[in-house]
Amino acid sequence: MKILTIDDDPTIQELFLTGLCSEGFDITQAYNAKDGLELIESQVFDCIILDNMLPDIAGVSLCAMIRDKGIDTPIIALSVQTATDQKVAFFNAGADDYMEKPFTFSELIARIHAVTRRGTTKTPDIISYRTITYDLHNDKLTVGGETVYLTHREAKLLEYLLLNRGTLLTRAMIYEHVWNMRADPFSNSIEAHILALRRKLGSPRNAKDSIIKTVPGRGYMID
């Protein structure tokens, strides 16, 4: 998988090179927006990792320029800024995901897999898995042929898990995509909704028998 990293910090770029190459990614690097855009226009990448603080123009502006050129390569934005307005600006510019610095490589790699999976897979209308069938457009879930009713948040969480089946989703990723907020280490909202989903999917007591798997200390996934 070819990854383009655009960041003017040599230390961060060295970490990208070491960490991502060790996972088998093919890495190309740019230290400013101009060089990054030239690479994007001349080569094909599977994912772009884009920092906001670039020496020539802001990363959010480069993101918009990339989309204006009709290039739909998945973009993961990076920024030290935690304000919601910054996230909204990037998403409005066409970014597929947003991470705050500092970050862990395990989460970055999980996000790379998630955005590239979304970029290559057409979203289906209906997902069938084991005994469940879920209609994404109507938020209609059936388990063993019986209709099961979900709350709005449960529906969003189940959809996110199903569309990224086989990919580990960290608590931070779930908070951002389902709750549209930063992860709260003192909140058990995710755990409560996972428990509710497991019950509605037919495994109220034994989590190991649920289609929603817990990866201790890391997050959740449907395998």
One-letter amino acid for residue 95 of the chain: A
Helix locations, 94-221, DSSP H: 105-120, 152-163, 171-174, 189-200
pLDDT digits (tens, 9 = 90+) for 17-55: 999 988 889 999 999 999 999 999 988 899 999 999 999
**Per-residue model confidence (pLDDT) at position 57:** 95
**Per-residue model confidence (pLDDT) at position 44:** 86
List Cβ<8 Å contacts ≥24 apart for 119-123. 119/46, 119/72, 119/73, 119/74, 123/163
> What is the third-level CATH fold of 2-120?
Rossmann fold (3.40.50)
pLDDT digits (tens, 9 = 90+) for 111-138: 999 888 875 545 567 888 888 899 887 7
Burial of 205 (0-12, 13-18, 19+ CB in 10 A): exposed
The model scores a pTM over 0.75: no
**Per-residue model confidence (pLDDT) at position 84:** 83
- Given a contact cutoff of 8 angstroms between Cβ atoms, the answer to whether 69 and 41 are in contact is yes
One-letter amino acid for residue 207 of the chain: A
How far, in Å, CA of 117 to CA of 204, rounded?
A: 30
Query: What mean pLDDT comes out for the span 156-178?
Result: 88
**Per-residue model confidence (pLDDT) at position 34:** 96
Query: Going by C-beta distance under 8 Å and a sequence separation of 6 or more, which residues neighbour residue 18?
Result: none
Q: Note the CATH number of domain 126-222.
A: 1.10.10.10
**Per-residue model confidence (pLDDT) at position 208:** 66
Q: Minimum mean pLDDT among 89-93, 141-145, 205-209, 213-217: which range?
A: 205-209
Whether 183 shows a pLDDT value over 90: the answer reads no
**Per-residue model confidence (pLDDT) at position 72:** 87
Supply the mean pLDDT for the chain: 88
How far, in Å, CA of 52 to CA of 58, rounded?
A: 5
Give the start-to-end residue ranges of the domains of the chain.
Answer: 2-120, 126-222
Pairing of strands 169-170, 219-222: antiparallel
Whether 86 shows a pLDDT value over 80: the answer reads yes
CB neighbourhood size of 58 (10 A): 16
Of 52-56, 143-147, 161-165, the range with the highest mean pLDDT is 52-56
**Per-residue model confidence (pLDDT) at position 92:** 93
